[in-house]
Amino acid sequence: MCHPQRGHRDKPGDDSRIWFAPMTEPTWSLHTKLAEDTVPVGDLALTRVLLANDANYPWLILVPRRPALIELIDLEENEQVQLLGEVAAAARALKDITACDKLNVAALGNQVSQLHVHVIGRCHSDAAWPQPVWGVVPPAAYDPAVRDGLLGALRRGLQTRPVSG
């Protein structure tokens, strides 16, 4: 859509010949906090799937690869449906792989405003049960072999594409 306030006139007052500078499309990038706190699983059609660096809970984060998204309603309606489908697929895969007792799914964005959805596998025996996971215990590092095994199972279960860019 053209915005007259962005146009340039050949002569002051001459509205007959307005030209517009091309608008550049912003590019998507992952918020630095999400990048620091996760390991990439792979890409689905819409989202980048990430594994949280916290062995206390099997925890995925799905981030739509679209620029400048903050709220779910910032996505086009068809992309909202796509996101829900990808969240459901991630939840199924996480439950199948980890045999967790319960799934927590949330899009909060209070600390990181970039739209992202948490899919957390919960067990009756986890450190936070039945409370929310945030702030109960410090994040625990994964044993590399355990993390790599979980990543492999998730990649196969979700049939993700390798992360690009």
What 3 state SS string does 49-112 have? Answer: EEEECCCCCCEEEEEECCCCCCCHHHCCHHHHHHHHHHHHHHHHHHHHHHCCCEEEEECCCCCC
Residue 146 structure tokens: 């355990």
Taking residues 81-101, what's their average pLDDT? 98
Half-sphere exposure in the Cβ direction for 160 (13 Å, CA): 26
φ/ψ of residue 93, rounded to 5: -60, -45
pLDDT in tens, 50-73: 999 999 999 999 999 999 999 999
Instruction: Using pLDDT thresholds of 50, 70 and 90, give the confidence band for residue 4.
Output: very low
φ/ψ of residue 134, rounded to 5: -65, 125
Cα separation, 132 vs 151, whole angstroms: 24
φ/ψ of residue 75, rounded to 5: -80, 150
Does position 12 have pLDDT exceeding 80, yes or no? no
Instruction: Using pLDDT thresholds of 50, 70 and 90, give the confidence band for residue 25.
Output: low
- Report the predicted TM-score, pTM, of the whole model to 2 decimal places: 0.84
Q: How many residues does the chain have?
A: 165
Does position 74 have pLDDT exceeding 70, yes or no? yes
| Nearest in space to 141 (alpha carbons), one of 60, 54, 37, 39 | 54
Q: Give the number of other CB atoms < 10 A from CB of residue 103.
A: 17
Q: At what angle do helices 144-158 and 77-98 cross, to 10 degrees?
A: 130
Taking residues 35-40, what's their average pLDDT? 97
Residue 64 structure tokens: 């739509």
Rounded to the nearest 5 percent, the helix, strand and coil shares of the chain are 30, 20, 50
pLDDT in tens, 107-137: 999 999 999 999 999 999 999 999 999 999 9
Write down the architecture of domain 34-157 according to CATH. 2-Layer Sandwich (3.30)
| Structure confidence at residue 13 (pLDDT) | 55
